[in-house]
Structure 1
């Protein structure tokens, strides 16, 4: 296992962190999963107030005794932003009690996704007042934020200079947040990548087309290498439902060097195949089409269409597309069939795409059962 400095926190974290959203079957499964992670060299455990019984299960494992001392273990929990300090004070105390801890190594403001959330963070008597009190009395060592929000909100949150780390989405198949990675690095913030296997493309069950294009590597391995070869990134979330699901991801835990020629060739093959498959219908994700009067997240819909057409990533596309209209600010936007063909987006598209036609096609390909957040 390799370890990297988590920005200005100066913590040295394993390049894989144990995300604890999916080990919720029972407390014994949680203990076994945590023990396996620690035995494999993971030293950072990440949970959240909103992850069902995750904090409680982790607290039970801590109380029972872990394989490492507390000083060698780094624990992060996440708490949603609140409009007032009193709620945050209560939430911090409750999380510490459930976790059986005297202090948190890191507290993340969970889901700083909207401009309103940012206003709460910046308010004089808002949630950060309680966080600063907890830092002053030693119950919290470091503070950051996690986000599923638009790039503009992420950049503004980073620029508040309140935070020492950021948890965000960034993968080979979703590079929209590249400028947030760069800004965080400039400010010496730790960077934690959320769910690269699942949100990054459901790469643990890739379609055959994608597997063939990635040879001799697996799609999951290539995505991990894309991220680990970037030294601005500290750690990647791995979220097993059971201990054995840690084995495959951690095979690359020692591989954090620059991309090899073979890996670069695989990425070039992916890019060339996408261009050939999509031809003149490829959305390049410039976001110039927004805002949409019907609140359709056009770039994200067309990104999912890109992946379905080019790589047969239809199952992943259906999974993410089903979140629209069902996940609130965690995945905002209406489905593509809400398009009324008003034409507002057409003159703004530098590629002159027939956006209404592509939205209709995307809906036909990807519409399925409604989705929801795992812990929603």
Structure 2
């Protein structure tokens, strides 16, 4: 989704991926010309006889939920044509974010579409990506309709790891969505976070944290060959965390706790539901990262996308807190939640910004 300046840029990234031992390409029609550029690059590599060993490329693309059977069929065939392949290894329902999206897959037009894609050999297996609630993701995993899931799993936000473990226990593949950029813009971390993670790079520690948890696939999102350097160095690093990694992870957590003191939100979610639909844990998570590791650019960008990205992100920011106090008796740590939400808004509210993909 990032190597989109020219087809030659995509070809350069794929050559570097081969050299790094990468065999999985994940894309979507929504990512501008990505599928077309990938198709051209794959054709060039086929002509050169260059492909990963042990079965060649594994290709994942996506379909948006909610469309009709006919439009879904046409969209899938268009993806196959752009990519220059007859079969997708993995088809992900792209953004299974609402209950209506899951209903579409389980009993609506989506169910018919998936059956057709599998029966005609256009797709080998079906999964989903989700930015939705934990309850929705758990329901999707338990449905037995999917063979893999793509989730936001991050070193600095491990709250969905139990969902990943649930999927792994059901023999589902688990892909971590953007552990670098959405994980805290770890490819360009703050000086404070770099110090907290020393002697490791923050992104190196984030990758190892997820690999050691059993996550089967990490997305890298390369714009250039240089972006794959770290992935290449970690190609065989999927074993348990070693003593030094565990020490640094404990230090990272301790530093966050020291800086936030009694105002640290532990993300237990006991404060919910909010009568004004304020997503309290998510907003206080951004505050944790801003005060705890000085991730101001990342947290500011995420905060100012609220209400501007549809069902892909939160729709209500901290200014909607009415200080009703409904959440206060439910917080096990007696956090002054309305005051912390007001601080979050003062700290992070700014002019609106555009998300990468609208």
Shorter-chain TM-score range: over 0.9
| Contact 1:38/1:68 (8 A) holds in 2 | yes
Q: CA deviation at 1:239?
A: 0.5
Q: Report the count of equivalent residues.
A: 354
SS of corresponding position for 2:277: coil
Structure 1 match to 2:36: 56
Q: CA deviation at 1:69?
A: 7.0
| Contact 1:82/1:88 (8 A) holds in 2 | no
Q: Does 1:225 align with 2:208?
A: yes
Q: CA deviation at 1:87?
A: 2.2
Q: CA deviation at 1:83?
A: 4.6
| Contact 2:256/2:293 (8 A) holds in 1 | yes
Within 2, Cα distance between the matches of 1:179 and 1:215?
A: 27
Superposed CA offset, 1:41-67 (max 9, x none): 111100001111111111111233342
> Unmatched 5+ residue regions in structure 2?
none
Within 1, Cα distance between the matches of 2:42 and 2:241?
A: 38
> Unmatched 5+ residue regions in structure 1?
1-20
Name the Cα RMSD after superposition.
1.5
Q: CA deviation at 1:96?
A: 0.8
The structure, 1 or 2, with the larger RCO (C-alpha pairs under 8 Å, 6+ apart) is: 1
Q: Does 1:361 align with 2:343?
A: yes
| Contact 2:40/2:83 (8 A) holds in 1 | yes
SS of corresponding position for 1:248: helix
SS of corresponding position for 1:177: helix
- Aligned ranges 1:130-209 → 2 under 5 Å: 130-209=113-192
Q: CA, structure 1 residues 320+250, in 2 after alignment: closer, same or farther (shift >3 Å)?
A: farther
Q: CA deviation at 1:305?
A: 0.5
Structure 2 match to 1:242: 224
Q: Does 1:44 align with 2:24?
A: yes
Q: Does 1:104 align with 2:88?
A: yes
| Contact 1:84/1:120 (8 A) holds in 2 | no
Q: Does 1:122 align with 2:112?
A: no
Within 1, Cα distance between the matches of 2:284 and 2:51?
A: 46
Q: CA deviation at 1:322?
A: 1.6
Q: CA deviation at 1:127?
A: 1.2
Q: CA deviation at 1:39?
A: 2.4
Within 2, Cα distance between the matches of 1:291 and 1:26?
A: 46
| Contact 1:89/1:131 (8 A) holds in 2 | no
1:283 aligned to 265, 269, 275, which one?
265
TM-score (norm 2): 0.95
Q: CA deviation at 1:337?
A: 1.5
Bigger fraction of residues in helix: 2
Q: Does 1:33 align with 2:13?
A: yes
Superposed CA offset, 1:285-342 (max 9, x none): 0112222222221101101101111111111111211221111111123111222212
